[in-house]
Structure 1
């Protein structure tokens, strides 16, 4: 028989539980850190005798590292007053249960208030989401596979502008147009019974901008990137399928150097370790009966001729583009971007285009050359001439 206290709580109070397995858990903790306890004075920031610290480390593009400490409610019971309503905040942790995604003890945060004020929960969750989204606004999250789960690979990265990647004429435009068309035709695919997924293959020599283009493309589409290493120890066909099915929403799956993954249909890492992922397992994960939909996969390769025909057939690879060494037009465009506004840029760009014509000069090599040529375009041209004469340009 229920006690009077339990009956009163059920009728008069409403509790919202946010487990650590839910995406909103860190957002709510961050939101709570900005609230003031009614018993500890006014001022911005959570005040209590039971606190916990959340530390975040952010590395800027310049290499400078920023460390931020947030005081959030610790384990136990706390009180806040929000929009005139009293709320009890309770944070509980179970040391005997581990969250497999993060490796940390399982916990939950509970918010309890009068049932008449339960509508405030929706407002709190929206505010918490808005606060969390600001941290990744104009940024791209990179995920990496840890076993059968996706985890962020460091802090969010600043979005790379699509125009910053210089490709041969028409290549970038064709891919962008195709992917935007695909993203707007989900209903069209469903009406015709076609699996809603798209695969792309980018081939070309090292340093031609394959990975850089995928990162810039993800930023322009406000998508994240999930990097999948098929050589990782412990991966199996089942885990691979699980990862593709459960990839974070609005993300691009990136399989880099796919030619090295299955040489002669056997997946072996550089140290001789043979992965448990089979070639047939990869094919089934990409477009088998249980394959994920609403998914975009990019594969990159330096040696497209080594790829098995079964891997690159339509349905698994729907579009193949080659990103080659620098053409005169690409070299000139990058040169003008680096030295815009400086004297002699137009003339220097023309000379540069002639210098790289019919030479195996990668875009990455040119970028590195321009970075060290801080004195200006003349210095860049002199260094490039010396490198070409000594045949030191990496290909």
Structure 2
């Protein structure tokens, strides 16, 4: 009876057609799923993938290195323009163009391996800054291959930035390179009063070269500096020159920014780029003179503005990081809370004031190396006379601007000396 039922069903054309379609569909589904699992298994066993996001310090290095590998083969590129000015006096600013792999898929060979490069970009709604990443895929299982590649990218980037100072600025909770690497500022281009520059150099050098001195004595390995004095006296210039002298980058923070909060400051200070000076300019503006309108706007967005307590904890609290150098500058030290500049947060305070006769002489010699002793003495007497007449001290920025305006000859300087306070 059962055999008769099977025979009748198999002889039914509608049943046969339906079963055949179902069987074919099932077989195709199994085949597709098997191929997917097989591809996943193959990638896991025989291929290795590296993804580098753009918030990683090696992202820019790797992108530039890949662009060098693709210089002859890739047809899908993004242009980056750099303005360059030669050291020649009569040279003009010229544009230099470099190309990096554009968003999409690229391929190249390296050390006998075929490498697939996928660059992706996603628009971030909150910050407006796109999130990017580069994914490299190659045959093999040894990750040392990628380590060697990253080291080569790093070495190439360091070689390209040799003799230059990198400046980083924060975005939301991460740091990004600001502009292009700039030429290191020579220490002798910043003329401070006697002993100031040398003392700063010695202190920073001792900190960088003696971490065990701090560890053995149970002292947190961090150093805070405060440079204070009138505007234009050379505070920021001195920090820039120090960074160049010690091959350090500069990570600058604007604490008076409307979006700066306690949590954001702590996050930024915890992931500062390595071997970098943290620069807090005009530190007095961090908690003084904050407008209610700005605070209300931040509170409306659900954020609490930066507080003095949050700043102190970030600098010297439990969550503060070690191995860092912080430079603060201010034109008004009297506005600073004593808790902010106590030892432990600020270990080295240095006043950088108006020009002294020593600085005036050194600046004159730097701009006009052929100056005679009589010309130097005459110029010092003229500066003293003008200072007494105007009852106003002279800043380094003022004198430098005056020299640059009448740079043709020292005769023009003396002929226009009375214009010094008007430029």
Same fold (TM over 0.5): yes
**Is residue 351 of structure 1 aligned with residue 368 of structure 2?**
no
Q: Paired residue for 1:387? A: 419
User: Against the structure 1 CA distance between its residues 144 and 376, is the aligned structure 2 distance closer, same or farther, given a 3 Å change threshold?
Assistant: same
Corresponding position of 1:202: 227
Aligned with 2:363 (options 313, 325, 334):
334
Please tell me whether the aligned partners of residues 159 and 219 of structure 1 are also in contact (alpha carbons under 8 angstroms): yes
1:41 corresponds in structure 2 to: none
Choose from 164, 167, 170 the match for 2:192: 167
1:111 aligns with 2:137: yes
Change (3 A) 1:102 1:142: farther
Pair 1:5–1:298, CA change in 2 (3 A):
closer
- Residue 72 of structure 2 aligns to a residue whose secondary structure is coil
- Residue by residue, what CA displacement relative to the aligned partner does 1:211-261 show, whole Å, maximum 9, x if unpaired? 110111111011111111111011111111111121111111111122233
SS in 1 for 2:362: helix
Query: Which residue pairs with 2:150 in the alignment?
Result: 125
SS in 1 for 2:318: coil
Give the SS at the match of 2:354: coil
Larger fraction in helix = 2
Structure 2 CA distance for aligned equivalents of residues 59 and 361 of structure 1: 34
Cα RMSD between the aligned structures?
A: 2.7
Q: Helix, strand or coil for the counterpart of 1:273? A: helix
Residue 316 of structure 1: aligned partner: 345
- In structure 2, the CA distance between the partners of 1:180 and 1:98, relative to structure 1 (3 Å rule), is same
**Is residue 49–residue 135 contact of structure 2 (8 Å, CA) maintained in 1?**
no
Give 1:291 deviation, angstroms. 1.2
Partner Cα distance (2:39, 2:313) in 1: 56
**Paired residues of 2:127 and 2:172 also in contact (CA < 8 A):** no
| Aligned pairs (5 A) from 1:1-395 | 3-4=37-38, 6-35=40-69, 45-49=71-75, 51-60=76-85, 64-72=93-101, 74-78=103-107, 80-83=108-111, 85-93=112-120, 95=122, 98=124, 103-115=129-141, 119-263=144-288, 267-268=289-290, 273-274=294-295, 276-340=305-369, 342=370, 344-357=371-384, 359=387, 360-384=393-417, 386-387=418-419, 392=421
Cα distance between partner residues in 1 of 2:56 and 2:125: 11
Q: When the two structures are superposed, what TM-score results if normalisation uses the length of structure 1? A: 0.85
Cα deviation, residue 294, structure 1:
1.0
- Cα drift, residue 32 of structure 1: 2.2
Is the 8 Å Cα contact of residues 281 and 328 (structure 2) preserved in structure 1? yes
Tell me by how many angstroms 1:121 deviates: 3.0
Question: Greater Rg, structure 1 or structure 2?
Answer: 2
Residue 59 of structure 1 deviates from its aligned partner by 4.9
1:305: Cα distance to partner? 2.2
In the TM superposition, what is the alpha-carbon distance from 1:324 to its structure 2 partner? 1.1
| Equivalent-residue separation in structure 2 for 1:232 and 1:291 (angstroms) | 21
TM-score, structure 2 as length reference: 0.79
CA distance in structure 1 between the aligned counterparts of 2:126 and 2:83, rounded to whole angstroms: 25
Q: Secondary structure at the match of 2:215?
A: helix
Q: Distance in 2 between matches of 1:314 and 1:282?
A: 15
The separation in 2 between residues aligned to 1:69 and 1:199, in whole angstroms, is: 39
1:17 is displaced (CA, Å) by 3.4
Decide whether aligned partners of structure 1 residues 286 and 10 sit closer, same or farther in structure 2, where only a CA change above 3 A counts. closer
CA distance in 2, matches of 1:214, 1:15: 42
Q: Is the 8 A contact 2:251 2:276 kept in 1?
A: yes
The ranges of structure 1 where at least 4 consecutive aligned residues each deviate by more than 6 angstroms after the TM superposition are 99-102
Number of residue pairs matched by the alignment = 371
Deviations 1:73-127 (A, max 9, x none): 651252x3323x13131305264x74988822433321303447x6543332222
Deviation per CA, 1:158-201, whole angstroms, max 9, x where unpaired? Answer: 10001110000011111111111111221221222211111111
Gaps of 5+ in 1: 37-44
259 and 82 in structure 1: CA distance in 2 versus 1, 3 angstrom threshold: closer
